[in-house]
Structure 1
């Protein structure tokens, strides 16, 4: 796989995914139950937005750059902006936290995190980024295989499935992981991130996910532009199993702001697939 998230760190899709992740953490940590978080495709955990990859793509400037400068930010995106600001000491956003660092900074006593990253070089960077967080562990492993082994026992479970979608079987493997995780841990909250290119691919995934899960799924779409060119990433979507009550309102705020401020003739949609 030649995917390098450093080219895309801090873009609109990261804003949607990471704002939702932080809000999920906040909801699931309202009780005293321990929380275990699993990340199937953790990446390197920390991204330098001044690096060559980020500068070449320009995606961070149009994403997190706009987030940090916004004067009309909804509460659902405020935690992400605060996390980015804290990481950068209140200065210009030159560093961007991936999901591992965002989660690690919010782990309570008794909580835990496992981030899987298959590529050795990226895993090495991930281990370094999380070195100061003893409750955050890493595995140089295939998250599709590793994570379904883990969510068991008491407490709460949150799983982020966030592959690069460069392999033709990523959609099928997401469905397989959702099925395996929720069979073993029925109450696990699972959030799948995916790109939106064309409706045919997305609808086919949803049909398979609905068949595998057998219960309603919460779906959030941030269509940044009309889905007319399947060769482009026209937006992104989140698909959630066991979403907390009322979480649709949070997703509407996140997707609505992102599309209205950063999109081009797009549309935000949040709905239930049953």
Structure 2
């Protein structure tokens, strides 16, 4: 599998993931202590919705396009919608922000963001995104061409607010195991840390096995949210997505319930959602 996010930017999974990311960053703002954000698979940071990849897949039109034009969109999506409109200078959707852009824009002066990307061309784009005039000089945002799993553990401070976003392409057979090891290591080093993991939902067996491994690896609180866009009948398709938060959730459960339910029921095909603690 050769995953390229340019085909999928702004799709339903991005809506769920990025709404949750912005909510966690906003919740951290109540603490004056510096927030450290580590993004293990950052990508390019910005995506061209008029490009051939996005146009060919049509996923952005079915995702962020429908969200921004929906009259019944929950208030929980408002920060994401506002960020997308700021990026585009209005209602026209020409670009979609990845997690690096969203996180860097939300940083306070005392906060910092570190994005990791293994593919050199995308890391070069990411570096340029973070140096853009809208961000330069105001926020501590940097990128590395490095293994994000290793960096998350190496650069996690032992105390204070930390948010680690793990969003791998799941191209490698050991990605699930790497996620478990990394999340467990981070919260073991810093009990105050939050690890937000995004995963595809293809079949329940794979996802349930991941949750069992994660429970065995850590005693930290675990909150899981499933967005099923269609019945999980074909394991060869991405039938939905899941978010798993390891560490203190700071009231995220009702937020995720609203976001996942609206996405599944409004944008899905007989979609359903559920949020639960392990």
Band of TM-score, shorter chain: over 0.9
Does residue 119 of the first structure (1) align with residue 124 of the second (2)?
A: no
Report the CA distance between 1:154 and its aligned residue.
Answer: 4.1
Deviating runs (4+, > 4 A) in structure 1? none
Alignment partners' CA distance in 1, 2:96 and 2:74: 20
In structure 1, the gaps of 5 or more residues are: none
In structure 2, the gaps of 5 or more residues are: none
The corresponding residue for 1:169 is 174
**1:181-209 CA distances to partner (integer Å, 9 max, x unpaired)?**
11111210110000000000000000000
The corresponding residue for 2:190 is 185
Q: Are the aligned partners of 1:27 and 1:244 in contact in 2 as well (CA < 8 Å)? A: no
The 5 Å alignment of 1:18-167 reads 18-132=18-132, 133=135, 134-167=139-172
Alignment partners' CA distance in 2, 1:245 and 1:47: 31
Alignment partners' CA distance in 1, 2:227 and 2:260: 5
Alignment partners' CA distance in 1, 2:25 and 2:255: 13
**1:194-229 CA distances to partner (integer Å, 9 max, x unpaired)?**
000000000000000011112331000000001010
The corresponding residue for 1:233 is 238
Alignment partners' CA distance in 2, 1:176 and 1:8: 27
Report the CA distance between 1:73 and its aligned residue.
Answer: 1.4
Alignment partners' CA distance in 2, 1:149 and 1:186: 15
Report the CA distance between 1:153 and its aligned residue.
Answer: 4.1
Secondary structure (helix, strand or coil) at the match of 1:105 reads: helix
The corresponding residue for 1:14 is 14
Worse-superposed segment, 85-94 or 44-53: 85-94
With normalisation by structure 1, the TM-score equals 0.97
The corresponding residue for 1:201 is 206
Q: Are the aligned partners of 2:40 and 2:167 in contact in 1 as well (CA < 8 Å)? A: yes
Secondary structure (helix, strand or coil) at the match of 2:106 reads: coil
Alignment partners' CA distance in 2, 1:111 and 1:154: 14
Equivalenced residue count is 273
Worse-superposed segment, 127-136 or 22-31: 127-136
Report the CA distance between 1:237 and its aligned residue.
Answer: 0.2
Secondary structure (helix, strand or coil) at the match of 2:152 reads: helix
